[in-house]
Structure 1
Amino acid sequence: MSIFRFPLLVWMGIGTLIFSLGIRQSFGIFMMPISDTFQTGREFFSFAIALQNLLFGVFQPFVGMAADRWGARRVITLGAIAYGLGLYLTSLATEPSVLYVTIGMLVGLGLSATSYVIVLGAIAKVVPTEHTAKAFGLTTAAGSFGMFAVIPGAQALLTAFDWQTALQWFAAACCLMIAFASFMKVKPSNQQVASDDTQTLKEALKEAFSHKGYWLIHAGFFVCGFHVMFIATHLPSYLADKGLPGNTAAMALAYVGIFNIFGSYFWGLMGDRFDKRYVMTALYLIRTVVIAAFVTLPVTESTAAIFGGAIGFCWLGTVPLTSGLVRQIFGARYLSTLYGLVFFTHQVGSFLGAWAGGRIYDFYGSYEPIWWSTVVLAFCAALLHLPINCKPVARLQAATA
């Protein structure tokens, strides 16, 4: 199936992700101006972002269950409202502790309802199984385009205005997600096969929890979350500590975004053509080499740009592969719920990556220890995917026999 024949729902989901994830990935640029305003160390803002990511994960399974029951359109609409409200209230904050509720809790809730789990769960119901990884890769790439488009815009807003005004612009942009959601309707004729439909939520959870591979998928995605939020949150400060200008970090993160546009689609295609386990192992081995090289070599504007492009190529390629594995093994009926639980583990990793980066920096005065920790974790994740049994469960095999 050509991507141009994908249903309208796919493209509306892409529009939602461009804004939802683009805004989220820009928060690292706000660390220094917000910390300067409140006269706090970096751990304060790091913890607020870490809390956001943890709650993003905590809310995700419940929001996924809501989407499986009442539809993605309603969930995304409510999520966009929470997202925009959180950003706007953050811009009005006069005490640093308020940010734990606004950019932490409200934005975390908004993200859980407007990001990959909900959008991919809806797409899985309207795209044929054999084209799922391709559709997931294309959709994941949309979040990267948002990162490429939004981060330079965030830097431009911070240059022209203050951080409060920049967040208010982002709050207004959340209204576009509501508009996109209004077109996201799943037609009954495109629903899953009957064997999927007759399974209850309790049965689906029991089936997944008893599958060893499901827990290995959790462990691998934990590492992805740790990497993504540590780099997105702390790379700007790391480069500033090395004496590089502020636009270097913005451009490095933009390179992450633009290369991930191609990378996410590439890894999605590879997941359709080859065993997803081995594709995932290759992806994490590339991450291992890229991060180790960046930490070892001198940090310059050139190496920062190269690192952004290289890590960007395998940045969110894990998303179509991970969600594709869950879809392949357990079916599409409860994908938002089962992938939502996997995503919770991802967000625990994100919490630790964002918070530990600030904690270790404030304690040691250096990011070096945690950079090397990410190298070790990447190598471990590469090994974790090899023993996964990725065959469809017996229920699905019987239905297609």
Structure 2
Amino acid sequence: MSTTNSKRFTFPLSQTTLVIIAGALILSAAMGIRQTFGLFIGPFSFDRGLPVTLIAFAIALHNLVWGFAQPFAGAAADRYGSAPVVAFGATTFAAGLGVAAVAPSGPMLIVGMGLLVGIGVSCTTFGVVLPAVGRIASPEKRSMAMGLVSAGGSAGQVLMIPLVQSIRLSSGIATSLFVLAFVMLLIAPLGIVLDRRTSVGMHPQEPAAAPLRKVLAQAVRHRGYRLLTLGFFTCGFQLAFIATHLPEYLTLCHMPVGMGATALALIGLFNMAGSWGCGWLGGRFRQHHVLGWLYLIRSVTIGAFFLLPKTSTSVVIFAAVMGLTWLGTVPLTSGLVAKVFGTRHLGSLFGVCFLSHQIGSFLGAWLGGLVFDLTGSYSLLWEATVAAGLIAAMLHFPIDDKAVSTPAIRSEPVRA
């Protein structure tokens, strides 16, 4: 009896639950921190005399570096496990924040917030975390599990934005960035938990030994994968523009001080429900159909917010709806890739798809600053986000989501 009881309470949490919790904490730190960067545009410009275009470029560059580094980070996690990749990424991310904190000039800010943060975030976000969750969750619960991790990751945005705003106002830019660097160092060991495996996540029907080169070639030829990749560009474009420039835009609209930070925090809060909800919907409906409706709803919301008068109420409603549709694309997109191609090379395949997302992120963040400096207005970018979203919706509905058979390498003979 005592032996049975001891076994029963040895592991109060299942392997899947532990991976979900660890993944949510890693995402919460990494995504929460990068969502605060929009709060530094004004202070960097006023306190250090840097042009808005240059600051926006540094923030945009980290998105582009993230995109190009993501396939390599995903492939490294597929091959070597998540632990070393997350540890390296968290350390590099922290170093980038530290460099930005003491940057006396534009080039140093670009190196810190652009290059180093971009490499670090590629190793600590979706392309590394979600494949680990996808491999350990059963196929019927995979979309839900990914949605839960994405939802838990949104807690960082809710917590980090008011924290950074408070520290920045009381102690300055450098102190707030050093605090964020310390937070990143705290999550460095959590990659070890992502490498836990159980029989639940191992599916013998998937070709575990499928060669990456052939799988990538097959994905590039797959029309649905190409449409999914093109549509993901829009997600990055819309989110980066809003996350980077919404606080400054609301200031130009004569909204109360702090409304930008409030709006970003509300987006993170509602994203917790939205990511979980999209994961739940993806487990019950065809994921590309859910994605199509998500882009459509998001674009209509952006258009209405831009055209209607700006009030505290309209900002709150906009933030709530955007939050519900904010990162729900990620578990749906990664889940769709896993459904079609399996989980063996999910990190690599999602990483390539995510590169398109990050090219969109780069353009959304950078063009926002460039257009504002040239015209004194964000109007062109608001209109562009609406148009891009409508196009993305049309791209997703015709996607073919049938699973494909992936090639497997020949087994090598065992030699005595």
- Note if 1:44 corresponds to 2:54: yes
Give per-residue Cα distances to partners, 1:56-82, cap 9 Å, x unaligned: 001000111111110011100000000
**Higher alpha-carbon deviation: 265-274 or 178-187:** 178-187
Amino acid of the residue matched to residue 20 of structure 1?
A: A
Percent identity, aligned pairs only?
Answer: 41
Amino acid of the residue matched to residue 355 of structure 2?
A: F
Alignment correspondent of 2:380: 369
Alignment correspondent of 2:411: none
Give per-residue Cα distances to partners, 1:281-339, cap 9 Å, x unaligned: 11111111100110011112221111111111101110111111100000000000000
Give per-residue Cα distances to partners, 1:217-250, cap 9 Å, x unaligned: 1111100000110000000000011112331011
Alignment correspondent of 1:246: 257
Please say if residues 72 and 122 of structure 1, whose CA atoms lie closer than 8 Å, have aligned partners that are also in contact. yes
Q: Distance in 2 between matches of 1:117 and 1:49?
A: 20
Alignment correspondent of 1:19: 29
Q: Distance in 1 between matches of 2:213 and 2:156?
A: 36
Q: Distance in 2 between matches of 1:367 and 1:245?
A: 19
Alignment correspondent of 2:68: 58
Please say if residues 192 and 333 of structure 1, whose CA atoms lie closer than 8 Å, have aligned partners that are also in contact. no
Please say if residues 133 and 194 of structure 2, whose CA atoms lie closer than 8 Å, have aligned partners that are also in contact. no
- Note if 1:33 corresponds to 2:38: no
Alignment correspondent of 1:331: 342
Alignment correspondent of 2:156: 146
**Higher alpha-carbon deviation: 5-14 or 202-211:** 5-14
Alignment correspondent of 1:109: 119
**Aligned-residue RMSD, C-alpha:** 1.5
Alignment correspondent of 2:5: none
- Note if 1:264 corresponds to 2:275: yes
Segments of structure 2 that go 5 or more residues without pairing to the other structure are 1-12, 408-416
| Local SS of the residue matching 1:236 | helix
Equivalent residue runs for 1:383-394 within 5 Å = 383-394=394-405
Alignment correspondent of 1:399: none
Amino acid of the residue matched to residue 80 of structure 1?
A: A
Q: Distance in 2 between matches of 1:168 and 1:205?
A: 39
Q: Distance in 2 between matches of 1:394 and 1:5?
A: 29
Q: Distance in 2 between matches of 1:80 and 1:200?
A: 29
How many residues were matched structurally?
394
Q: How far is 1:180 from its partner?
A: 1.9
Q: Distance in 1 between matches of 2:261 and 2:213?
A: 45
Q: Distance in 2 between matches of 1:314 and 1:188?
A: 32
Q: How far is 1:393 from its partner?
A: 0.5
Amino acid of the residue matched to residue 288 of structure 1?
A: S
Q: Distance in 2 between matches of 1:20 and 1:142?
A: 12
**Higher alpha-carbon deviation: 8-17 or 184-193:** 184-193
| Local SS of the residue matching 2:193 | coil
Q: Distance in 2 between matches of 1:334 and 1:315?
A: 26
| Pairing partner for 1:255 from 252, 266, 272 | 266
| Pairing partner for 2:296 from 267, 271, 285 | 285
Amino acid of the residue matched to residue 284 of structure 2?
A: R
Q: Distance in 2 between matches of 1:327 and 1:72?
A: 18
| Pairing partner for 2:80 from 70, 83, 92 | 70
Amino acid of the residue matched to residue 376 of structure 1?
A: A
Q: How far is 1:203 from its partner?
A: 1.5
Please say if residues 127 and 347 of structure 2, whose CA atoms lie closer than 8 Å, have aligned partners that are also in contact. yes
Alignment correspondent of 2:6: none
Please say if residues 79 and 109 of structure 1, whose CA atoms lie closer than 8 Å, have aligned partners that are also in contact. yes
Q: Distance in 2 between matches of 1:192 and 1:377?
A: 37
Q: Distance in 1 between matches of 2:204 and 2:257?
A: 52
Amino acid of the residue matched to residue 338 of structure 2?
A: R
Q: How far is 1:160 from its partner?
A: 1.2
Q: Distance in 2 between matches of 1:313 and 1:7?
A: 24
Amino acid of the residue matched to residue 291 of structure 1?
A: I
Q: Distance in 2 between matches of 1:294 and 1:41?
A: 27
* Structure whose CA Rg is larger: 2
Amino acid of the residue matched to residue 102 of structure 2?
A: L
| Pairing partner for 1:343 from 317, 330, 354 | 354
Please say if residues 22 and 193 of structure 2, whose CA atoms lie closer than 8 Å, have aligned partners that are also in contact. yes
| Local SS of the residue matching 1:196 | coil
Amino acid of the residue matched to residue 71 of structure 1?
A: G
Q: How far is 1:38 from its partner?
A: 2.6
Amino acid of the residue matched to residue 381 of structure 1?
A: A
**Higher alpha-carbon deviation: 255-264 or 40-49:** 40-49
